[in-house]
């Protein structure tokens, strides 16, 4: 009788906890999908910046200049959020946590950005997005090898299906008709590998100091490396003022990238990782190619053939398989040890 009473009393609490967990999981999925879509539009905007207009040779625009302008517009937002977050948190991060979070940010927001922006000089926006999202496979692989994660049959099936779609696009799609295809593809795949490592490393720090604080520190770390790189490269050329002497449209494009394809999605993605883990976020990121394809066709007039459509559909089916099979149950994907 006493046991029965305990169960009756405990059930409402357990149900409420379960309901809250499900709501947070769904919120993590929604934020992750939205963040992936916003991040993916960056490729289209960068390609717009590289277009030659009114005598301006856009293809000769250094990638570091674009990255610097983008981060210059984004930097004040992160400083403001960092100040606001530090006023609210009770436990302040240690100097080691601050330093390591900034180093992790250099991996993603400096090294990955430089590889990605340079690769976009050689391949279409659609191909860039599809290649970049080979990173879920690396997340799953590195997670199992180095971070205590597990490779499940659902994960393997989803990855196989998703990248089978990429293979179809490469074999018969029109979006691979690009100059210096292999150079651009190699740069973006290298970006995918480093980004996968970043997501796994970031999970630990997000658990320790929270997504908002980690995002700000990581971005500040990345911005510091970018500004240093730009300053050194400008001193070796014609000076900083000459390096920033670009048409007003470049400033406008970089401002849009900073707000809608950097600041907003960075917080959305890191919040999502705190709720559902990096492996689910990685698979949600595969939504990005669909958003890029639509935007690239409408804005850049890039080609998109039948096999491109088939490959994209197969890839998105891989995402659906992973999410439906996992039922959105949050689990630790990274060991804090």
Element (H, E) at 253: helix 248-258
Share of the chain above pLDDT 90, in %: 21
- The residues near 316 (Cβ < 8 Å, ≥ 6 apart) are 165, 286, 287, 290
Classify residue 58 by its DSSP letter.
G
Q: What phi, psi does 56 have (nearest 5°)?
A: -90, 120
- The residues near 22 (Cβ < 8 Å, ≥ 6 apart) are 328
The residues with which 56 forms a beta bridge, in sequence order, are: 53
pTM listed for this prediction? 0.78
pLDDT digits (tens, 9 = 90+) for 119-164: 999 988 888 888 887 777 787 778 777 777 677 777 778 778 877 8
CB 172 within 8 A of CB 315: no
Classify residue 89 by its DSSP letter.
-
If one counts every other C-beta atom within 10 angstroms of the C-beta of residue 59, the result is 11
Residue 10 confidence (pLDDT) above 80: no
pLDDT digits (tens, 9 = 90+) for 163-222: 788 788 777 777 777 778 889 989 999 999 998 888 888 877 878 888 788 888 999 999
Half-sphere exposure for 171 (CA within 13 Å, toward CB): 10
pLDDT digits (tens, 9 = 90+) for 102-127: 999 999 889 999 999 999 999 888 88
Share of the chain above pLDDT 70, in %: 82
The residues with which 53 forms a beta bridge, in sequence order, are: 56
Q: What phi, psi does 239 have (nearest 5°)?
A: 100, 160
Instruction: Render 204-248 in DSSP notation, one character per residue.
Output: HHHHHH-HHHHHHHHHHHHHHHHHHHHHHHHHTTT-HHHHT---H
Residue bearing tokens 């500004």? 227
């Amino acid at each position: 009788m006493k046991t029965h009473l305990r169960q009756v009393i405990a059930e409402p609490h357990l149900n409420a906890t379960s309901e809250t967990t499900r709501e947070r999981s769904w919120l993590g999925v929604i934020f992750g999908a939205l963040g992936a879509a916003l991040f993916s539009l960056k490729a289209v905007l960068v390609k717009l910046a590289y277009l030659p207009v009114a005598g301006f040779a856009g293809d000769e625009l250094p990638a570091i200049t674009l990255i610097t302008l983008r981060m210059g517009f984004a930097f004040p937002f992160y400083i403001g959020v960092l100040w606001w977050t530090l006023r609210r948190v009770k436990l302040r991060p240690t100097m080691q946590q601050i330093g390591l979070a900034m180093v992790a940010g250099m991996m993603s927001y400096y090294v990955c950005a430089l590889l990605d922006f340079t690769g976009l000089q050689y391949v279409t926006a659609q191909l860039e997005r599809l290649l970049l999202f080979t990173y879920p496979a690396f997340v799953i692989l590195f997670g199992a090898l180095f971070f205590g994660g597990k490779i499940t049959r659902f994960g393997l099936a989803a990855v196989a299906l998703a990248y089978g779609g990429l293979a179809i696009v490469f074999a018969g799609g029109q979006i691979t008709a690009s100059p210096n295809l292999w150079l651009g593809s190699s740069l973006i795949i290298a970006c995918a590998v480093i980004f996968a490592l970043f997501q796994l490393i970031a999970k630990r720090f997000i658990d320790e100091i929270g997504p908002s604080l980690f995002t700000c520190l990581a971005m500040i770390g990345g911005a510091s490396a970018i500004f240093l790189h730009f300053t050194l490269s400008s001193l070796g050329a014609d000076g900083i003022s000459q390096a920033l002497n670009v048409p007003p449209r470049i400033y406008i494009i970089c401002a849009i990238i900073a707000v809608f394809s950097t600041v907003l999605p960075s917080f959305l993605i890191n919040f999502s990782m705190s709720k559902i883990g990096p492996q689910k976020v990685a698979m949600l990121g595969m939504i990005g190619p669909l958003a890029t394809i639509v935007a690239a066709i409408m804005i850049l007039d890039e080609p998109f053939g039948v096999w491109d459509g088939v490959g994209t559909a197969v890839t998105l089916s891989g995402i659906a398989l992973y999410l439906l099979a996992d039922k959105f149950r949050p689990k630790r994907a990274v060991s804090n040890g």
